[in-house]
């Protein structure tokens, strides 16, 4: 009998867990379907007040209204009855208005034209352009992307197709960007979304964002008209921060959207180098001139990183610049995220930018960036593993590093601000000089057991070398 009760309790527990997971999943599905319904159809509201030439309507930010949206104003006449039920009213079009300012629950609009006086109670219909072929982008969380960004994009693909729209596949998006040598950050305003749409040959582009609101997340979406660079429709909703949503929000964090990389007939696609001696944006795969010193390196989501992520191991990759004496190195760095299970806190990781590595005399000068929870906390300028300058820095997201080298003189800039300067008294021109990048995830070992887990990789992007006077 006791075993039977235990079995029943286990079944009930499993059912409860499954029900919670279903509810969490269903909440996001419902939110996307709600947004899709509102994006695929026009807003309808009423005039609530008139003041001189300003019309107040009961549609605002909560309805996805944006400045510039136009509405047809209709005066309602006698009711229309079908089988004893009022199904509508006789309508007379009396004017057109355009939104000038938007509030949370209402909007202010200017009168474009009118054949009669607009009065309180008149109905307004949003004037929208009908589009059939659209592109959908990933939704950023701030200026970053994660698994939730990708999940929302995928769900919009299904939802908008179900509402009769043709969607450009992500492969085509990647292909067009590669052909045009366009860097896709995924962060779009109306004009940049319209430019992207023109490249893709679509009528509209669906863009949006995820915003933290404390206990909930706001999901905002806009369907942009490629021809006018104006929002055709817009909508917003909120979702609860369920465990599943929070897990997706903190997983696979990256600086750019995830798209399928394109490679044609074995050729590496990359941005034009221009005046740079070497440049690599890693849109497809690393340039073959990279010398992989430690581990295997690859391009993931358009960023350069070691394929492995073993803690305690240093990974480096170099470019041979021969006898180059005066040059500039530039690179974007995204710090990784490491968890220390023993102390139950975020661990530390390091990124390296090698300013000068001399094979012949084994004398190196490099910048070491120490990070924690995807944030740069300090920068150490080092020569032969000796710290020559140390700066405390608090920076998140994309960290732009610039190193100016003139002989033995090094000047370091981080996010456009000079942080270090160093003259190397041991400098001598070498027969072979290398520059490059590296990463290292610091390990915590307790009783012989490694208690560190790498959650997100350290990655590099837009690496360039330029000769200077």
pLDDT range class, residue 275, cuts 50, 70, 90: low
Give the pLDDT mean for 86-112.
92
Between 439 and 320, residue with greater pLDDT: 439
pLDDT at 5: 52
**Looking at 176-180, 287-291, 333-337, 452-456, which range is the least confident one?**
176-180
Nearest to 391 by CA among 425, 357, 418: 418
Q: CB 461: neighbour CB atoms within 10 A?
A: 23
The one-character DSSP state at 426 is T
Q: What is the mean pLDDT of the chain?
A: 82
Nearest to 268 by CA among 255, 282, 278: 282
CATH code: domain 133-249 is 3.40.50.10610
Domain boundaries, the chain: 44-76+91-126, 133-249, 278-467
267 pLDDT more than 60? no
* Radius of gyration over every alpha carbon of the chain, rounded to an integer in angstroms: 28
109 pLDDT more than 90? yes
- Distance from C-alpha of 449 to C-alpha of 325, rounded to nearest angstrom: 45
* 278-467 topology per CATH: Jelly Rolls (2.60.120)
158 pLDDT more than 70? yes
Residues contacting 154, CB < 8 A, separation 6+: none
The one-character DSSP state at 64 is T
332 pLDDT more than 90? yes
Residues contacting 6, CB < 8 A, separation 6+: none
Q: What is the pLDDT of residues 13-63, one digit of tens each?
A: 544 444 444 444 567 888 898 888 888 878 889 999 999 889 999 998 877
- Apex CA 303: angle with CA 298 and CA 306, to 5°? 35
> Got the DSSP string for 339-391?
EETTTTEE-EEEEEEEEEEETTTTEEEEEEEEEESSEEEEEEEEETTEEEEEE
Nearest to 38 by CA among 223, 185, 257, 190: 223
Nearest to 329 by CA among 381, 276, 259: 276
pLDDT range class, residue 97, cuts 50, 70, 90: very high
CATH code: domain 44-76+91-126 is 2.40.10.340
């Amino acid at each position: 009998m006791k075993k039977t009760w235990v079995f029943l309790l286990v079944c009930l527990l499993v059912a409860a867990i499954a029900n919670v997971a279903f509810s969490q999943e269903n909440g996001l599905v419902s939110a996307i379907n709600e947004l899709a319904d509102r994006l695929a159809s026009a807003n309808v509201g009423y005039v609530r007040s008139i003041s001189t030439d300003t019309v107040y309507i009961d549609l605002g930010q909560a309805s996805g209204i944006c400045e510039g949206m136009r509405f047809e104003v209709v005066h309602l006449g006698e009711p229309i009855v079908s089988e004893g039920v009022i199904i509508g009213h006789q309508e007379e079009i009396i004017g057109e208005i355009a939104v000038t300012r938007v509030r949370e629950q209402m909007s202010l609009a200017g009168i474009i034209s009118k054949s009669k006086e607009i009065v309180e109670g008149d109905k307004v219909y949003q004037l929208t352009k009908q589009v059939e072929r659209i592109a959908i982008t990933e939704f950023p969380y701030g200026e970053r992307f994660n698994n939730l960004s990708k999940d929302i994009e995928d769900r919009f693909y299904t939802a908008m197709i179900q509402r009769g729209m043709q969607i450009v596949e992500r492969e085509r998006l990647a292909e067009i960007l590669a052909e045009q040598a366009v860097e896709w950050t995924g962060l779009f305003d109306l004009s940049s979304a319209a430019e992207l749409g023109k490249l893709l040959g679509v009528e509209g582009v669906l863009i949006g964002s995820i915003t933290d609101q404390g206990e909930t997340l706001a999901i905002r979406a806009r369907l942009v008209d490629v021809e006018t660079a104006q929002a055709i429709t817009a909508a917003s909703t909120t979702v609860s921060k369920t465990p599943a949503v929070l897990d997706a929000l903190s997983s696979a964090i990256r600086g750019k959207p995830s798209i399928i990389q394109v490679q044609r007939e074995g050729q590496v696609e990359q941005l034009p180098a221009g005046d740079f001696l070497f440049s690599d944006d890693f849109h497809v795969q690393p340039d073959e001139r990279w010398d992989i010193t430690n581990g295997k390196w690859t391009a993931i989501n358009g960023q350069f990183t070691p394929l492995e992520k073993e803690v305690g191991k240093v990974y480096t990759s170099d470019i041979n610049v021969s006898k180059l004496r005066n040059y500039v190195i530039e690179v974007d760095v995204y710090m990784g995220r490491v968890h220390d299970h023993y102390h139950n806190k975020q661990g530390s990781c390091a990124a390296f930018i090698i300013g000068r590595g001399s094979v012949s005399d084994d004398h190196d000068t490099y910048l070491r960036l120490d990070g924690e929870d995807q944030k740069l906390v300090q920068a150490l300028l080092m020569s032969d593993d000796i710290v020559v300058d140390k700066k405390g820095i608090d920076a998140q997201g994309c960290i732009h590093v610039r190193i100016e080298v003139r002989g033995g003189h090094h000047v370091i800039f981080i996010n456009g601000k000079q942080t270090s300067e160093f003259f190397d008294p041991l400098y001598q021109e070498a027969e072979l000089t290398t520059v490059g990048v590296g990463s290292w995830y610091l390990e915590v070992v307790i009783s012989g057991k490694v208690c560190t887990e790498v959650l997100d990789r350290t990655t590099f992007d837009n690496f360039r070398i330029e000769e200077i006077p």
